[in-house]
Chains A and B, each alone.
Chain A
Amino acid sequence: MHLKLTDVTVHYGKVQAVKNVSLEVDAGDIVALVGANGAGKTTLLRTISGLHPPTAGEIRFMGQRIDHLRPAQIVRLGIGHVPEGRKVFPSMTVLENLLMGAYSRRDRGSVREDVESVYQHFPVLAQRHGQLAGTLSGGEQQMLAIGRALMSKPKLMLMDEPSLGLSPIVVEHIAEIIASINKTGTAIVLVEQNVALALQLANRGYVMATGEIVLHGKSSDLMQNEEVARAFLGR
């Protein structure tokens, strides 16, 4: 078992943003987490990463409880996070951003090789290695955010809306990258408003509405589900 959430509840002040969510991600999975704006998907990812601790419930990663750990400790256990809105460091260069991604690693010697392998995934980042991240296009920033998360060598990667605001061609490229990251053995939780894309990539999916999981199953089944089709796929 890779990641297991049991009855996780999260509050923002008095507002309950996530209610009794249980969710599992196995090794090698791509799990899609879909739902309308404000359903609590981003909050759930932030909670897994330790940015926003849960008010109730339990989160386990590879058997260990992580719901009381700080973000820095959770990264070290092997959970990478590509945050909503990319959140690259705007006044650092592309290379500096990637090196920040390796901040938690102890094996400093192989960091350079991993920068090269990120550059192989994203040749455009290699071309722009000395450029400030704030001056990149949206698609390039997204690639940088993914590359930065890869630099921590995660066993599980949380990706929050990687396709948001990108052109269809770039979205396709990002989708290929997600699939190829998964092929190297990294499990992925993919939060997407582009539900068709998410379900295509994922083997399993969860549908969230107003803080709760309302539906889950194999993504092929979810795609056939009438409610999902009506609500998200425009059929």
Chain B
Amino acid sequence: MTGAEFTQTLLNALMLASVYVLMASGFTLIYSIMHIVNFAHGEIYMLGAFAVYYFSMEYHLNFFLALVLAILVVGVLGILLERVLFLPMQQAHLPQVILSLGLAMALQGIASVAFGAGDRPVDGPFDTVLRFGGAAISMERLIIIPISVAIMIALFAFVKWTRTGQAMRAVAQDSDAAALQGIDVAFISCLAFGVGCALASAAGALIAPVFYVNPFMGGSVIMKAFIIICLGGMGSISGAAVGGLILGFVDSFGATLFGNSVANIIGFALLIIILLVRPQGLFGR
């Protein structure tokens, strides 16, 4: 690997990791509060990508404005989905997981009918290409990194320092005890689902200019999110951040050195090894 190839792969790894971290932290947040694996998370990511497509390409809004709108709209959609579909199930976890599977299929189907099954391109905010030594990376890829970092910092600050964020941590650690302190657990579940969906939407919206947008784009990324939260520890946002970084590097360097299929194998092999050595994941309790 030459220096230029290395730089190129490194930047790609960081970009990929950024999207993985956003995706997985929403996935793990929902798990930590509701104790369910939300199989529809990939489709929420897809909706985020479509939202940015419609706002920026059809309504010709500035990309960044479209990004913010995509996050808000899909976040609110998440809140509605929780209220209407998940809440009535009264924390019956298995039916909720099955529901999320059904929701994934339904959203994919609805998206195919409503948006069409073909690939849609999204123009990024910049069309400049930066060159470092021999490496070339487009600004639209590079910009994903600082935006994701900013979103993650905001998420950590929210969870650590705001009253509602602290209530979320309390519910994640012991929902009965949280209720006994006066925390409205149903409201927190709803909010966590909304925030989780907003994060997935951010991931989908940010990646939209890099790849094409289509109704089936969520299928592969949900597996990535699953690997990441098992690696990092189910329910831990720090775990999702570290797991996302690891998988981003594995995928990017693996693909450059050995090709895509081998990179996928390495990701799963790493998961198996970590689960053998530390079944609760890197940051799991």
Contacts and interface: CB of A to CB of B under 8 A. Distances in A.
Interface in A82-141: 83, 87-92, 96, 99-101, 103-104
A141 B85 CA distance: 38
B184 A89 contact: no
Contacts of A71: 179-180, 182, 185
Contacts of A83: 176-177, 180
Nearest to B169: A92
A75 B182 contact: yes
Given A51-B176, A83-B177, A89 B182 contact: no
B168 to A, nearest CB: 11
B169 A91 contact: yes
Nearest to A46: B176
Interface in B167-219: 167, 169-170, 173-174, 176-186
Contacts, number: 69
B173 A72 contact: no
B166 interface: yes
Given A71-B179, A72-B183, A81-B180, A87 B174 contact: yes
A163 interface: no
B176 A100 contact: no
B182 A103 contact: yes
B38 to A, nearest CB: 22
A204 interface: no
B60 interface: no
Given A87-B176, A87-B177, A90-B285, A76 B169 contact: no
Contacts of A104: 181-182
Contacts of B181: 75, 100-101, 103-104, 148, 152
A70 interface: yes
Interface residues of B, number: 19
Contacts of B285: 90-91
A182 interface: no
Contact of B170 (A50, A51, A89, A149): A89
Contacts of B173: 89-92
Contacts of B182: 71-72, 75-76, 103-104, 152
Interface string B101-145: 000000000000000000000000000000000000000000000
Nearest to B163: A103
Given A70-B184, A72-B184, A89 B179 contact: no
A100 B169 CA distance: 10
Contacts of B163: 103
Q: Looking at A50, A70, A76, which has the most chain B CB atoms within 10 Å of its CB?
A: A70
Query: Interface on chain B toward A: helix, strand, loop, or mixed SS?
Result: helix
Give the contact-size bracket for chain A.
20 to 34
B169 A51 contact: no
Contacts of A96: 166
A10 to B, nearest CB: 16
A70 B170 CA distance: 17
A49 interface: yes
Interface in B146-165: 163
Nearest to A96: B166
Given A71-B180, A83-B177, A103-B181, A89 B167 contact: no
B68 to A, nearest CB: 31
Given A91-B169, A96-B166, A103-B167, A51 B184 contact: no
B174 to A, nearest CB: 5
B166 A100 contact: yes
Nearest to B180: A81
A76 B181 CA distance: 9
A76 B183 CA distance: 10
Nearest to A87: B177
Q: Looking at B166, B177, B179, B184, which has the most chain A CB atoms within 10 Å of its CB?
A: B177
A96 B173 CA distance: 13
Interface of B: 163, 166-167, 169-170, 173-174, 176-186, 285
Interface of A: 49-51, 70-72, 75-76, 80-81, 83, 87-92, 96, 99-101, 103-104, 148-149, 152
- 10 nearest CB pairs, A to B: A104-B182, A87-B177, A71-B179, A75-B182, A89-B173, A81-B180, A103-B181, A72-B182, A72-B184, A103-B182
26 contacts: A49-B180, A50-B179, A70-B179, A70-B184, A71-B180, A72-B182, A72-B184, A75-B182, A80-B180, A83-B176, A87-B176, A87-B177, A89-B173, A90-B285, A91-B285, A92-B170, A96-B166, A100-B166, A100-B167, A100-B170, A100-B181, A100-B183, A103-B181, A104-B181, A149-B180, A152-B182
